[in-house]
Amino acid sequence: MSSLLANRYVNENYIQAIKDSTVSNGPYYILAPGVAMPHARPECGALKTGMSLTLLRQDVQFTDEDDGIKLLIGLSAADSDSHIGAIQALSELLCEEDILAALLAAESEKDLADIIARA
């Protein structure tokens, strides 16, 4: 999310909205084992539509039930529709077990980009 903030895709309010929503609703944005896509509503501070990939050095565990998150996919949607195609493509990618395993085994953000480009 820091790259979305640094590149002015979101403002600080957006980050706070994600934190507040996580406290209120739990980590609703876990997409697959090891993968989460934190996001908030467009009116919470999304300035432009974009995505970011963050490979965590250490897994982050949100609940006792999850296995720990290694890959964060930051999402900023400036409106309710513009990001739908990207989410559909991402969902298809994460449904492929070999691609998901490769993403979670990646050791650098270049590795992530290469895996996605090959898929």
Catalytic residue among 9, 39, 42, 103: 39
83 is catalytic: no
Q: Are 5 and 40 in contact (CB under 8 A)?
A: no
Nearest to 33 by CA among 82, 90, 84, 101: 101
Tokens 């492929």 belong to residue: 96
CA-to-CA distance for 15 and 105, rounded, in angstroms?
27
Active site residues: 39
